[in-house]
């Protein structure tokens, strides 16, 4: 690591002795197997994006086993809120509070304006669109992929080079303390809330009350003249009253401040007009679906609030592309696979089904492969009922469900279509091979990350999978830090 290129290091924050880090954390700390005068050069969260070295402080993840592995593979010690046998560690009373204080200590030296994005669905896509828009004017520092928890904020900040003039950050909405602390650290000039749905509700103690609390906490850190951007068409978002200036984006609510109209799907994507501040701008997207129009509207509004010319905003949005396993339409000849299985909720599946139905120029049958939705314990019936309603309203010809719970969708369908349920990955691969032999069809693959549909895509559609990975590697060289 070239320390001279890092703003955090130039400011004198790092490297720092263990005693100095403990002083920043405050409260009661205990050391085990590590001396106060030992130097810490950097922080790492699990085994993700920060290279381990012998003076690296490893942030404890959900699994102690991964932290033990990190430390034994070269890390100095772990930062934890309970003793971990077999490795050196710094013990703190509350890990979230410790990470908040470390992050605040780092960010106060950086002191950049910021745009923060949260919500149940669409955070990462909206963040990437905003990145692209802001890059027309700013040098943006941002999170990689969907990194969005407090521990990752702490670890990322050490990688600020010093030439950036804007931070664009994604924040996890299902952990109220993470959302609150992240907002207080970043002090956003613009807070974007994509929508509120059932994502992660099964992991929240009080369900929607916890979700609302997390979202509201985002405004606690807003700067004095900060603005909130919300979805005017999202009924759940409309239930929350914000005490800050608010920009409402929408398609159906004519009173929305930033309104999209004249929507049109073409073979290459979606086109529409945007009315904002009494001016109309035509926008072309290279992606499909109303959900992406909402994402684009939020990026459009954020760009205008940042002072970027609306023509430049439109150009930036036109150049946006989906890559990898998020909303990625992979075409090889007449065969199409719509890969969208990074994660799922009933709302995102409904969006995907509608988008899949509206894509023009597809050949053969439209086959929807829908897997289980994770982290909705106690909300399964309402979630799968919503998905069934979306299937009924779609133009899907064949429904294939996969997993332990997704068969519930069949129970709530009212439209008669061809349907099949698979309980194992092997059974799904076999059934997809059968469908492939019937002719050129279009396939939507959508499920929670835990279902690992990338394995099924690789097995059933090897050419599409290899092409997708090739484009992902190719474009990663040219995109902002993604």
Q: Quick: pLDDT tens for 23-44.
A: 999 989 999 999 999 999 988 8
**Model confidence at 2, in pLDDT bands (50, 70, 90)?**
very low
CA distance 344 to 448: 5
pLDDT score at 204: 47
Q: Quick: pLDDT tens for 105-130.
A: 999 988 899 999 988 888 999 999 99
pLDDT > 90 in the chain, percent: 62
Q: Please give the structure tokens belonging to residue 221.
A: 């850190």
- Whether 200 shows a pLDDT value over 50: the answer reads no
- Whether 299 shows a pLDDT value over 60: the answer reads yes
**Model confidence at 48, in pLDDT bands (50, 70, 90)?**
very low
CA distance 238 to 240: 5
Sequence-distant (≥ 6) Cβ neighbours of residue 28 within 8 angstroms: 92, 93
Cα angle: 420, vertex 424, 428; to 5 degrees? 50
- Phi, psi dihedral angles at 290 (to 5 degrees): -60, -35
pLDDT score at 151: 85
All CATH 3.40.1190.10 domain ranges in the chain, comma separated: 112-318
Q: At what angle do helices 176-186 and 208-217 cross, to 10 degrees?
A: 10
pLDDT score at 1: 45
Q: Quick: pLDDT tens for 408-465.
A: 999 999 999 999 999 999 999 999 999 999 888 999 999 999 999 999 999 999 999 9
CA distance 57 to 39: 10
The mean-pLDDT minimum among 63-72, 120-129, 203-212, 319-328 falls in 203-212
All CATH 3.90.190.20 domain ranges in the chain, comma separated: 328-476
pLDDT score at 51: 52
**Model confidence at 54, in pLDDT bands (50, 70, 90)?**
confident
CA distance 338 to 265: 16
CA distance 198 to 382: 9
Q: Please give the structure tokens belonging to residue 22.
A: 């403990």
**With contact defined as beta carbons under 8 Å apart, do 345 and 374 qualify?**
no
C-alpha closest to that of 196 among 164, 169, 231:
231
Sequence-distant (≥ 6) Cβ neighbours of residue 158 within 8 angstroms: 6, 8, 9, 14, 42, 43, 50, 106
CA distance 189 to 113: 6
CATH code of 328-476, in short, is 3.90.190.20
Pairing of strands 29-32, 89-92: antiparallel
- 316 to each of 266, 319, 347, 372, how far by Cα in Å? 19, 5, 27, 35
All CATH 3.40.1390.10 domain ranges in the chain, comma separated: 3-95
Question: What residues form DSSP beta bridges with 384?
Answer: none
pLDDT score at 206: 55
- 309 to each of 133, 134, 188, 479, how far by Cα in Å? 10, 11, 21, 21
- Highest mean pLDDT: which range of 40-54, 105-119, 164-178, 464-478: 105-119
- Residue 348 belongs to what H/E stretch? helix 346-358
**Model confidence at 3, in pLDDT bands (50, 70, 90)?**
very low
The helices-and-strands tally (H runs, E runs) of the chain is: 16, 22
**With contact defined as beta carbons under 8 Å apart, do 334 and 361 qualify?**
no
Handedness of CA 134, 140, 146, 152 (dihedral sign): negative
**With contact defined as beta carbons under 8 Å apart, do 114 and 169 qualify?**
yes
Burial level of 464, CB count in 10 A (0-12/13-18/19+)? buried
C-alpha closest to that of 241 among 230, 249, 252:
230
At the second CATH level, the architecture of 3-95 is 3-Layer(aba) Sandwich (3.40)
Q: What DSSP line would sit under 244-300, residue for residue?
A: S-EEEEESS-TT-SEEEEEEEEETTEEEEEEEETTEEEEEEESS-SHHHHHHHHHHH
CA distance 103 to 153: 7
Q: Please give the structure tokens belonging to residue 413.
A: 């369908």
Q: Please give the structure tokens belonging to residue 404.
A: 């332990």
The mean-pLDDT minimum among 79-83, 368-372, 382-386, 462-466 falls in 79-83
Pairing of strands 39-40, 16-17: antiparallel
Residue positions counted in the chain: 482
pLDDT score at 64: 63
- Phi, psi dihedral angles at 97 (to 5 degrees): -65, -40
CATH T-level fold of 112-318: 3.40.1190
Provide the whole-model pTM: 0.87
What is the average pLDDT score of the chain?
88
- Whether 386 shows a pLDDT value over 90: the answer reads yes
pLDDT score at 461: 97
pLDDT score at 46: 63
pLDDT score at 45: 78
């Amino acid at each position: 690591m070239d320390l001279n290129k890092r703003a955090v290091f130039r400011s004198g924050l790092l490297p720092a002795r263990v005693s100095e880090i403990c002083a920043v954390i405050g409260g009661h700390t205990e050391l085990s197997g590590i001396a106060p005068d030992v130097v810490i050069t950097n922080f790492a969260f699990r085994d993700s994006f920060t290279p381990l070295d012998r003076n690296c402080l490893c942030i404890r993840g959900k699994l102690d086993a991964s932290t033990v592995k990190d430390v034994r593979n070269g890390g100095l010690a772990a930062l934890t809120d309970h003793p971990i046998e077999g490795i050196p560690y710094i013990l703190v009373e509350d890990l979230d509070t410790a990470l908040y204080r470390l992050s605040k200590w780092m960010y106060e030296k950086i002191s950049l304006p910021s745009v923060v994005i949260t919500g149940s669905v669409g955070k990462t896509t909206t963040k990437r669109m905003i990145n692209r828009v802001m890059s027309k004017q700013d040098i943006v520092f941002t999170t990689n992929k969907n990194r969005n928890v407090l521990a990752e904020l702490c670890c990322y900040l050490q990688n600020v080079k010093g030439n950036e003039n804007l931070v664009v950050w994604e924040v996890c909405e299902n952990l109220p303390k993470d959302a609150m602390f992240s907002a207080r650290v970043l002090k956003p000039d613009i807070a974007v809330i994509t929508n509120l749905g059932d994502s992660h509700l099964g992991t929240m103690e009080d369900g929607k009350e916890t979700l609302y609390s997390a979202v509201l906490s985002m405004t606690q850190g807003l700067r004095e003249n900060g603005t909130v951007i919300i979805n005017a068409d999202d009924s759940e978002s409309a239930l929350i009253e914000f005490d800050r200036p608010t920009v409402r984006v929408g398609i159906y609510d004519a009173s929305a401040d930033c309104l999209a109209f004249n929507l049109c799907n073409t073979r290459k994507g979606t086109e529409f007009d945007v009315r904002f501040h009494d001016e109309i701008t035509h926008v072309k997207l290279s992606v499909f679906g109303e959900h992406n129009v909402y994402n684009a509207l939020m990026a459009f509004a954020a760009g205008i609030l940042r002072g970027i010319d609306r023509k430049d905003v439109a150009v930036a949005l036109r150049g946006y592309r989906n890559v990898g396993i998020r909303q990625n339409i992979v075409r090889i000849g007449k065969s199409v696979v719509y890969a969208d299985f990074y994660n799922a909720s009933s709302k995102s599946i409904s969006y995907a089904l509608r988008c899949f139905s509206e894509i023009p120029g597809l050949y053969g049958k439209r086959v929807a492969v829908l897997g289980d939705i994770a982290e909705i314990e106690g909300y399964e019936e309402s979630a799968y009922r919503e998905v069934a309603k979306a299937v009924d309203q779609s133009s899907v010809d064949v429904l294939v469900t996969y997993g332990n719970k997704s068969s519930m969708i069949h129970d709530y369908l009212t439209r008669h279509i061809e349907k099949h349920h698979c309980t194992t990955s092997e059974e799904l691969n076999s059934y997809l091979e059968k469908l492939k032999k019937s002719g050129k069809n279009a396939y939507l693959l959508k499920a929670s990350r835990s279902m690992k549909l990338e394995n099924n895509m690789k097995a059933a559609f090897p050419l599409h999978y290899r092409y997708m990975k090739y484009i992902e590697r190719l474009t990663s060289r040219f995109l902002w830090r993604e």
